[in-house]
Amino acid sequence: MEQPLIRALALTRRYLVGKQEVRALDGVDLEVARGEFVALVGPSGSGKSTLLNLFGGLDRPSSGEIHVADLELGKASDNQLVRYRRERIGFIFQSFNLLAMRSAVENVETPLMLAEVKPKERRERALKLLESVGLAPRANHKPNELSGGEMQRVAVARSLANRPLLLLADEPTGNLDTATGRGILNLLREAVSAQGVTLVLVTHDPDVAAHADRIVHMRDGRIQRIEMKSH
């Protein structure tokens, strides 16, 4: 069998709050295959964002192992993690996290700039990405001139700019109405089916989770159960 893209082994993340230890993750074992779409669900505070941040190299485990492709993230250097995030990961957040002073096309260009893609190619690729999310006509608009759904489409285009292996989405439809959220979900599913991207998505919405290949139910920092979907 092909190596899974993600392998988490006995993963924990603890925080000290005053003298109190908070176990945000309390022994998670999980494998995610390449090209798979996994939904993370569970009550608020169950560790979903903590797990997603560990997958994305935004945070480090307290113990256990987290491997993505050929990199063990807990042992990687800070520089390796910076490159890992830039080159292999696309992030999408509930609050869009666009640069307020930059136009839609400039936001999509940001990761390409960090990857030192030349200006002309950068602009061309960013415009193509905006077109693929149906936003070519809004290329020069600033975030405050866009609707929530449009901002999230810019964020999706940005997340795909460096052709990531892994897309990590933390409640990407949480601030959107149902129909708009469905449009965003479809763009993400398209990235999985057309480009073979792996998608791990946190959601509260059972209708969104229902589109995943597997639904991982979390509770108190642990995996409670895993639901397989056959579409």
- Interaction site with Mg ion (CB under 5 A): 49
Residue 95: count of CB within 10 angstroms of its CB: 13
Q: What is the DSSP letter of 49?
A: H
First-last CA distance in the chain: 22
**Binding map of ligand ADP across residues 108-147, x = CB under 6 A, - = no contact:** ----------------------------------------
Cβ distance to ligand ADP smaller for residue 5 or 202 = 202
DSSP 164: -
CA–CA dist 116, 31 (Å, integer) = 33
Q: Which of Mg ion, ligand ADP, none sits in contact with 113, Cβ below 5 to 8 A by type? A: none
Amino acid present at 85: R
Taking the least distance from each CB to ligand ADP, the nearer of 41 and 146 is 41
Phi and psi, residue 210, nearest 5°:
-60, -20
Binding window for ligand ADP (CB under 6 A); candidates: 37-45, 80-88, 93-101, 206-214: 37-45
Query: Residue holding tokens 């608020």?
Result: 44
Task: Say whether residue 168 binds ligand ADP (CB under 6 A).
Answer: no
Shortest approach of Mg ion to residue 48 CB, angstroms?
A: 5
48 sits near ligand ADP (criterion: CB under 6 A)? yes
